[in-house]
Copies of this chain bind each other. A is one copy, B any other.
Amino acid sequence: MVDVKSMANPLFLREEELRQGIEMLFFAYRDFTGEPDAILSEIDLGRAHHRVIYFVGRNPRITVTDLLKILKITKQSLSRVLSQLVNEGYIDQTTDQGDRRKKLLTLTEKGVDLEHRLTENQRKRIARAYKAAGAEAVQGFREVLRGIIDPGDQERFEIVAPAMPPQRRGKG
């Protein structure tokens, strides 16, 4: 039996392709956050804490304002989790000596330990997927994901060079 729909209407295949993209993103994110969430709940922390710990670990001496720009939440929301993390000894706050209004955030040893425990799962999951898919696929994964991200944050990720023909891009 011939697939009449995709023959007569090329948009049909495209629609299906796009919807699969939407769904894969949903499932991937759901499963990606599942395991760290389980670890966090055992020590009475949540996903919001993980995000803060992650990005402070990744950007030592980051200011509160810069952290807010990454997370795109309000400072009141951040305040709740951040002060908890400081109180419980996961994060250190020091005053910026150049501009004494700014507070610089850094993970303590305890914070680094937790960050490793939490991210280990996710690193392994990605490593497994990368390995199974191969280097070229990883390149494509990065290019597409980068395109999905809003312009303001795309710059965080270097532009990967096209796989083979550097000419003739942007048009299919």
Write the residues of chain A forming the contact surface with B, with a CB cutoff of 8 angstroms: 14-15, 17-32, 34, 51, 54, 58, 72, 119, 122-123, 125-150, 153, 156-157, 162-163, 169-170, 172
Contacts and interface: CB of A to CB of B under 8 A. Distances in A.
B28 A148 contact: yes
A165 to B, nearest CB: 10
A163 B143 CA distance: 16
A46 to B, nearest CB: 15
B153 A144 contact: no
Nearest to A21: B126
Contacts of A31: 148-150, 153
Q: 4 shortest A-B CB distances, which residue pairs?
A: A140-B140, A129-B147, A137-B140, A141-B144
A172 B135 contact: yes
A132 B138 CA distance: 16
A172 B131 contact: yes
B172 A123 contact: no
A132 B162 CA distance: 11
Contact of A138 (B135, B140, B150): B140
B137 A24 contact: no
A123 B25 contact: no
A28 B25 contact: yes
10 contacts: A14-B127, A15-B123, A18-B127, A24-B145, A25-B29, A27-B149, A131-B170, A133-B143, A134-B140, A136-B136
Contact of A23 (B24, B156, B162): B156
Given A29-B25, A133-B140, A19 B148 contact: no
